[in-house]
Amino acid sequence: MSCVRVLMRGADEHPPWQWAAARQRCLREARRILRNRDDAEEAVQEAMARAWRKRAACRTPSAPLPWLLQITRNESMRLAARRRRRELAEVPQPEREGAAWEPAVESQIEQTLTAVATEQALDALAPDERRLIRLRYVHDLTQGQVAEVMGVPEGTVKVRLHRVRARLRVRAGELAA
């Protein structure tokens, strides 16, 4: 049997893939994840090479795009993690009294506890007080803008914020104890 017939028979079993079009779609997906054109190019190049090597493993050879996109997402996430590890390793460590000093970093548990304590303290507030705090600190509005949104004088906002912050400080002290 000639090589042409073998190739033709293989083409009948698996329709030809549109690699160029798939690459463009994969590139858009990688850019969405990585937010960097060069990193996206690198991830797609690796994803396409991996897909080419493993193309026989594609369960839907007549529609390979979802499979290719998943390989691209995996490669993009792998590249992002590798870059993050490298950046963390390159952060210069400050020195204290001649010895290497580790910067104080809150652990994940401490961050979670702080978030829970904050939510508990906010839950103790009245709905209009929570709205006041969210407008001022979450939405980062000025006191004048908060007054405008709430339909009250600016002085009222200042007084209410002062009182709410004082109560939250007391509540935070109780939760910390």
Q: What is the DSSP annotation of 96-160?
A: ETTEE-PPP---HHHHHHHHHHHHHHHHTS-HHHHHHHIIIIIS---HHHHHHHHTS-HHHHHHH
Q: How many percent of the chain have pLDDT more than 70?
A: 79
107: left (phi over 0), alpha (psi -120 to 50) or beta: beta
**Of the candidates 82, 64, 78, the residue with the CA atom closest to the CA atom of residue 23:** 64
22-26, 146-150, 162-166: range with highest mean pLDDT: 22-26
Mean of pLDDT over the chain: 80
For 108-176, CATH gives 1.10.10.10
Whether the model clears a pTM of 0.75, i.e. scores above it, the answer is: no
User: How many CA atoms lie less than 13 Å away from 140 in the CB half-sphere?
Assistant: 0
Q: How far apart are CA 66 and CA 72, in angstroms?
A: 10
The predicted structure's pLDDT at residue 140? 83
Joined tokens for residue 43: 């991830």
The predicted structure's pLDDT at residue 6? 37
One fold for both 3-90 and 108-176?
A: no
pLDDT over threshold 70, residue 33: yes
- Chain segment 111-156, per-residue pLDDT in tens: 777 777 777 777 788 888 888 888 887 788 888 989 998 999 999 9
In CATH terms, is domain 3-90 a member of 1.10.287? no
Query: Where along the chain do its domains lie?
Result: 3-90, 108-176
Joined tokens for residue 125: 């507030």
Q: How far apart are CA 8 and CA 14, in angstroms?
A: 10
What is the arithmetic mean of pLDDT over 67-93? 85
